[in-house]
Amino acid sequence: MHIVQLILSIIYLSVAFFTIVAIIHDRRDPVKTLAWILVICLIPIGGVILYVAVGRNHRKEKLFNRKEIVDLQQIDGLCNTQLQYLGGPESLVADEVARNKSFITLLLNNNKSMLTLHNKVEILNNGEATFEALFEAIRGAQESIHLEYYIIEYDEIGSQLCRLLAEKAAAGVEVRVIYDDVGSWKLKYQCIKRLRKQGIDIRCFMPVFFPWLSSKVNYRNHRKIAIIDGKIGFTGGINVADRYVKGTKRGPWRDTHLRIEGDAVTSMQLLFATDWYFVSDKQWLNHPKYYPMPSVTNLSPMQIIHSGPDSDWASIMQSYFAAINTARKSIYVTTPYFLPNQAILTALKVASLSGKDVRIILPSYSDSKITYWASRSYVGELLEAGVNIYFYKEGFNHSKLIIIDGEFCSVGSANLDIRSFEDNFEVTALMYDPAIAEELTRYFMEDLERSEEITREMWEARPNLHGLYESISRLFSPLL
């Protein structure tokens, strides 16, 4: 018996040793490397299993090669043309573009994100307004409906959506849906089968059959996209579930979404097309009917940027970093999950210490305890740097937005956390329109009125036990 135990111990120690060697050899962020080594040392057997399931780094390897090739083939040429345009005479460049030329150039280079000039944007300030606008657009669909969501639940709001989609499919409209296998785990196969029988082409993004044996579980499609007839697009923080409209037992649900018309919808359609290519075994949506000529004429420059394990660069993180560093006056941030990497954390502190008005709204509670405590572990050092921190009190604030100098703003699916920066497939709309930034700022100020400002004195007076929870949780923040 002792010999068997000895052999098993030797086998485990060997596996743990070579796992740690593999982690070190991966040459990722040192903080993340040390966090994984800590997990393996503190959680025998379980730590190795956890690393195999969610820790291995396949960012630019076999899983995502097909998507990257399609992305580059389709939009490289147009991005190069736009780079030439930005490098031309200043008089030929619109003022809104000229002010943000270096920023736009960054995203053309690192993300192949086309600059679109003529757009119309409506800010949807809650789930009720979002689904009212989405359902209205779906009812008016003539050619195609393309939906892509991290979470789809077959509850009241989900069943309403599915009935509408079935009606449009019966009327001859092409309906395609992508759902994430992990985020939409409540969506039963019987429901999916019924939708397919009703003419809805619904596909799962990277199905996970054995979560503890597959690294796919770590790379999830967190995007929220809807495109109707290639003319109307929706994106932001809202998934398909009742809580985004009705709230939870803890209170109302606050969120931000966008309804977009114009050139940017073509960018959204291309992004959906690349994701569809991936989930449908190389079905490329290249028919001109999916990319109609926009009729919007007013100037509202925008870039739709995406990031994920198929990208060479952490484009959304780099865009946030550049935005914070180029701010002249103010930086306003709302995020439900605040687990920044060192670059973003340092940029926020330096901006505040340099005299910029930096304000961050965080929720007063979270749907994840460890994320809740880990997020709060950053509050003290931000307060020391002069950053203004607010805890939203009237329910859960799930908005993901950044406003810079009242002129530039960002709304999308990405949180200010390492998972959104490195592991998830995300999408964000970057808008270079002072009118939109002004409207978002007004909503941000209204949220401040519903929030409690946290002072250094209040923070230092919190229970010592809370500080312990925060410190322990922060050790694992690179893995959350």
The angle subtended at Cα 80 by Cα 75 and Cα 86, nearest 5°, is 125
Residues 6+ apart with CB under 8 A from 69: none
Active site (annotated) includes residue 181: no
Active site (annotated) includes residue 112: no
Q: What is the mean pLDDT of each run of 10 residues along the chain (480 residues)?
A: 64 62 60 65 62 56 50 60 62 66 85 89 97 98 97 95 96 97 87 93 84 60 97 97 93 96 94 90 85 89 90 89 95 96 96 98 87 91 97 95 96 93 92 96 97 94 84 67
Residues 6+ apart with CB under 8 A from 336: 237, 362, 363, 366, 396, 397, 398, 399, 400, 415
305 in Cβ contact with 113 (< 8 Å): yes
Position 90 scores a pLDDT of 52
Residues 6+ apart with CB under 8 A from 299: 94, 96, 117, 118
Active site (annotated) includes residue 222: yes
CA–CA dist 138, 246 (Å, integer): 21
Per domain, the residue ranges of the chain are 2-55, 62-79+118-299, 315-479
The enclosing H or E element of 357 equals strand 357-363
Position 21 scores a pLDDT of 64
The enclosing H or E element of 201 equals strand 201-205
CA–CA dist 466, 463 (Å, integer): 5
Position 27 scores a pLDDT of 54
Give this prediction's pTM: 0.86
pLDDT in tens, 177-212: 999 998 898 888 888 999 999 999 999 998 876 544
Position 76 scores a pLDDT of 66
284 in Cβ contact with 277 (< 8 Å): yes
Exposed (0-12), middle (13-18) or buried (19+): which is 262, by Cβ within 10 Å?
Answer: buried
Active site (annotated) includes residue 400: yes
Considering the candidates 67, 275, 398, 423, report the single residue annotated as catalytic.
Answer: 398
301 in Cβ contact with 434 (< 8 Å): no
Position 91 scores a pLDDT of 45
134 in Cβ contact with 226 (< 8 Å): yes
Give me Rg for the CA atoms of the chain: 23
Considering the candidates 71, 181, 229, 263, report the single residue annotated as catalytic.
Answer: 229
Nearest alpha-carbon partner for 96 in 111, 118, 112, 78: 118
Considering the candidates 32, 222, 231, 349, report the single residue annotated as catalytic.
Answer: 222
Beta bridge partners of 146: 176, 227
Residues 6+ apart with CB under 8 A from 246: 127, 253
Active site (annotated) includes residue 306: no
Considering the candidates 112, 224, 257, 356, report the single residue annotated as catalytic.
Answer: 224
pLDDT in tens, 98-118: 778 888 888 888 888 889 999
Cite the DSSP H helix spans in 227-341: 243-246, 264-279, 315-326
Considering the candidates 255, 275, 405, 417, report the single residue annotated as catalytic.
Answer: 405
- Fill in the DSSP letter of residue 355: T
Cite the DSSP H helix spans in 43-100: 46-50, 65-86, 95-99
Question: What CATH architecture is 315-479?
Answer: 2-Layer Sandwich (3.30)
Position 216 scores a pLDDT of 56
Q: Is 186 helix (H, G, I), strand (E, B) or coil?
A: coil
- Fill in the DSSP letter of residue 213: G
Residue type, 164: L
> Which CATH code fits 62-79+118-299?
3.30.870.10
Active site (annotated) includes residue 32: no
Residues 6+ apart with CB under 8 A from 401: 256, 332, 333, 334, 409, 410, 411, 440, 444
